[in-house]
Chains A and B, each alone.
Chain A
Amino acid sequence: MDEQYILKKLKTFKSIKPDNKYSEKSRMLILSATADHQKADFKTPFYSFKNFIEILRTSTVVGFVAFLLLFFMGGISYINKNFSPLGLEGLSQKSLVTEAEEINNSIQITLEQIKYLDQSNKKTINSINEVSNNKPVYETSATMPEEQSKQPTETESMSQNGIITNNTEDTGNIGKNSTSTENIGNTESMDNIEDFLINASSTESNESDNTDKLLEEISK
């Protein structure tokens, strides 16, 4: 086997070729890879300017997105504060507790007032009952005109008082004057009792009015 024959045979190795699919895939992968010179090269003014533009564009987009996020978050918090039912002042915990305490205190005061009025009312009723039990004749003012007609005239009252005396007949009346004196004292006491009863009834009516007013307030 001579050299020419070997060299001739070596030429046939030229038919050795790579697979077409592999070649295309390899080419695509290689060209998509970034070459080192395409990385940041700040020595080149043009490339630094181009890089600056790229950075500016990216930062603008990022800043805009951040602004939108803040805007939406702020809007949501504003809506939640003003329009959300959870945002009503009356429903905040502290205000609710304070308001409840105030209402409770006002109710307590009202209850104590009612109690006081009830007690005073009872006392008034008791006193009225006592008075009515002692002097039943002058209980009401309606009976007063009748009593006035039964009252002696002036002359009679004067004779009763011992101012005008008759003869012996009058002497006999002296003894009777003592009883008129008693009648005079009895009249004064009756007037006092009448005044007391009038005052008591007016007081009672006033107190009942006050009680009604308080009850109305409570019901409100």
Chain B
Amino acid sequence: MLRGETISQFYRYNMLDGQEKIEEESIILDAIGGKASAFGLLYDKYNERIYRFIYLKVSHREEAEDLTHQVFLSAWKNIQKYKIQGFPFSSWLYQIAKNQVIDHYRTKKETIDINDIDEPEANNRLSDKNFDLDIEMAAIKKAILKLKQEQQDVIILRFIDDLSPKETALALNKNESTIRVLQHRAIKNLRKIIQSNHK
């Protein structure tokens, strides 16, 4: 069975949040029970999001791949500790990803100048056609990295992964009001950084 078919089967082309939640819960229960195929479905669903979240924070493709692998490996090994409390499974994965990035920066001895970020490779992921767009995107990416960690997280979860404030709050283990404040400050600071870079 192809991966695409498993994902479609997982979603069953059902756009209702409630139905999707019930299906996800049953899959999570199977994964907690030790069913590797169930966790495989969860991996297929959240792999891109977690990778994107980590990539925008470390700006290095190989490091992002390694850290993403560590996130899911840790999740699978500790799946028994996960308790279904009505929160999305992605929130738990984002928390693990955030901690992995923090640990990565702690253990990382070499420091890379933000100006030395691998821009051409990042640009390949975005677009090969519009060169101006690539330049803009590279500038925005640089600006994001200059934000604080909490503001980066909010920017990525809210405006790139399209999570709701509630989901973002759960993922970052904060209140919704805190998330809204962080969101506002993050956008404001991002705008300043981009304008200063243009100057």
User: Footprint of B on A, CB under 8 Å?
Assistant: 1-3, 6-7, 9-19, 22-23, 26-27, 29-33, 35-38
Contact = CB atoms under 8 A, between A and B. Distances in A.
Contacts of A9: 136-137, 140
B190 interface: yes
Contacts, number: 102
A37 B79 contact: yes
Contact of B47 (A11, A16, A18, A33): A18
Contacts of B39: 30-31
Contacts of A1: 191, 194-195, 198
A18 B133 CA distance: 21
Nearest to B44: A27
Nearest to A36: B77
9 contacts: A9-B140, A12-B137, A13-B126, A17-B125, A18-B65, A26-B47, A26-B68, A29-B69, A30-B76
Majority secondary structure, A binding face: helix
B40 interface: yes
A33 B79 CA distance: 12
Given A31-B40, A35-B79, A16 B32 contact: no
Interface string B112-132: 000000000000011100000
A16 B126 contact: yes
Contact of A37 (B34, B187, B191): B34
A23 B34 contact: no
B65 A26 contact: yes
B46 to A, nearest CB: 11
Sorting the interface of chain B by its residue count into under 10, 10 to 19, 20 to 34 or 35 or more gives 35 or more
Given A3-B191, A9-B136, A31-B40, 20 more contacts: A2-B191, A10-B155, A10-B160, A11-B159, A11-B160, A13-B126, A13-B137, A13-B160, A14-B52, A18-B64, A23-B47, A26-B47, A29-B69, A29-B73, A30-B69, A31-B39, A31-B43, A32-B36, A36-B77, A36-B80
Contacts of A17: 48, 51-52, 125
A18 B72 contact: no
Nearest to A3: B187
Given A1-B191, A26-B68, A15 B127 contact: yes
A177 B49 CA distance: 168
B56 interface: yes
Nearest to B161: A14
Interface in B50-104: 51-52, 55-56, 61, 64-65, 68-69, 72-73, 76-80
Contacts of B137: 9, 12-13
Interface in B144-173: 155, 159-161
A12 B159 contact: no
B191 A18 contact: no
A58 to B, nearest CB: 20
Contacts of A2: 191
Contact of A18 (B48, B79, B190): B48
Given A9-B137, A16-B55, A31 B79 contact: no
A30 B194 contact: no
A32 B69 CA distance: 13
Given A16-B125, A17-B125, A6 B68 contact: no
Nearest to B155: A10
A17 B65 CA distance: 10
Contacts of A27: 40, 43-44, 47, 72
A2 B137 CA distance: 15
A26 B72 contact: yes
B160 A14 contact: yes
